[in-house]
Amino acid sequence: MKKWLLLAAVALPAMGFAQVKYTLKGKVGNYNAPAKVYLNWQKGESPVMDSANVVDGAFEFKGEAAYTDMAMMMMIAQPGAEPDRLLFYLDKGEISITSPDLLSKAVITGSPLNTAFAQYKLFISGYDSAMASINRIYGGSSEVQRNDTSFMKWLDGRYRQAIDLRKTKQREFIQANPKSFFSIVAMKELSVANNMNLQELEPLFAALDKEVRETREGRNFRKMMDTEKQLVIGGMALDFTQNDVNGKPVKLSDFKGKYVLLDFWASWCGPCRAENPYVVAAQKAYKAKNFEVLSVSLDQPGKKDLWLAAIKKDGLEAFTHVSDLKYWDNAVAKLYNIRGVPANLLISPEGKILARNLRGENLEKQLAVLIK
């Protein structure tokens, strides 16, 4: 393992997350109209969208944000073209974004925060490359391949290897950089991969510098860990109501008396789609034993058609499906501290949590033990 990749304790000023006045100056290639650049970030529960025209590759944004937070910039070269995307952090002052061709390859200067973000991304870049390859393979696969158990097992194996690599690199980063804001970012991502394992996360969090723990993200992560303590095996599942595909309200408590797999997924999630054949097989095998699947989709606003198409394509019609089409702001996902998909919980007829994140063949194996 190349220890030299570890950052030398990237220390950023403690972030107070006060009002941030920003100026973004971009120069990407030599694009002109109809090329346009869009800036999107979250203000509380509401998305904020700004846009700028491109003249000889140049564009500019000015504004204020309540907090120093992540944003997405998209360039669309012409109507109907695939957006070119860049994730970065809105930071105070003047930030320069430059690239000779693609926005996604832009170099950001004038912002220590974004410099540190680039270093963190480099540190875990092996995972990003692996996931890009997995998504390309799945996206280019045929219907026959997606119904081929051996092919899906192989793809799932590659996915798990990529996740293990990322977890290893994130642990290393957190331990080597207790003063870095991105150690909190790494912890949030690690919590997704290790299913919010508090035995691992709490000591890592406690070892971070106090100023990092007291940032807005640090305090929010502490709240997430507190919420997780309510979702222990043997605890009562939290009731909720959300509309099904026809707009009819469905309650978790409607399933009292049945074993329920509360399954979180989305049509845009490659690993979720790879997991669906296992869930379908489990539902068929255990339907006669009082077992149901309640599927919660994190599909995006305005994309109900993609949600419905994925249900049909993956053969999920026998499940009960609900969603508020709010993407990561899905109310049920937030209630259950879902930070990544696929994810699931097995709930007893009495409403108790029996197991969490039963994946692949392990789903049916555990059902055989838990459902008598």
pLDDT (tens digit per residue) in 74-115: 999 998 899 999 999 998 899 999 999 999 999 999 999 999
DSSP category for residue 229: G
Helix (H) or strand (E) run with residue 88 in it: strand 84-89
Rounded to whole angstroms, how far apart are CA atoms 363 and 372?
15
Please, are residues 36 and 76 in contact by the beta-carbon 8 Å criterion?
yes
- Which tokens belong to 324? 């508020």
Average pLDDT over every residue of 298-320: 97
- Residue 261 main-chain phi, psi, to 5 deg: -95, 110
> Tokens 């000779």, residue?
100
User: What percent of the chain has a predicted confidence (pLDDT) above 70?
Assistant: 94
- Which tokens belong to 276? 């669906």
Rounded to whole angstroms, how far apart are CA atoms 103 and 84?
6
DSSP category for residue 15: -
In the predicted model, what is the mean pLDDT of the chain?
A: 90
What pLDDT, in 10s, does the model give residues 150-185?
A: 998 899 899 889 989 999 999 999 999 999 999 999
Domains of the chain: 20-115 (2.60.40.1110), 124-230 (no CATH), 241-370 (3.40.30.10)
pLDDT value of residue 346:
96
Which ranges in the chain belong to alpha helices (H)?
112-123, 125-139, 143-146, 149-176, 181-193, 198-206, 210-213, 216-228, 270-286, 304-313, 331-335, 361-370
- Which tokens belong to 173? 């980063």
What pLDDT, in 10s, does the model give residues 184-197?
A: 999 998 988 887 88
Whether the pLDDT of residue 296 is over 60: the answer is: yes
Rounded to whole angstroms, how far apart are CA atoms 179 and 78?
43
Closest Cα partner for 354 from 363, 362, 345?
345
Q: Under 8 Å CB-to-CB from 97, ≥6 apart: which residues?
A: 24, 25, 26, 27, 28, 73, 86, 88, 103, 106, 107, 108
Rounded to whole angstroms, how far apart are CA atoms 83 and 55?
18
Please, are residues 298 and 271 in contact by the beta-carbon 8 Å criterion?
no
Whether the pLDDT of residue 7 is over 80: the answer is: no
Please, are residues 185 and 212 in contact by the beta-carbon 8 Å criterion?
no
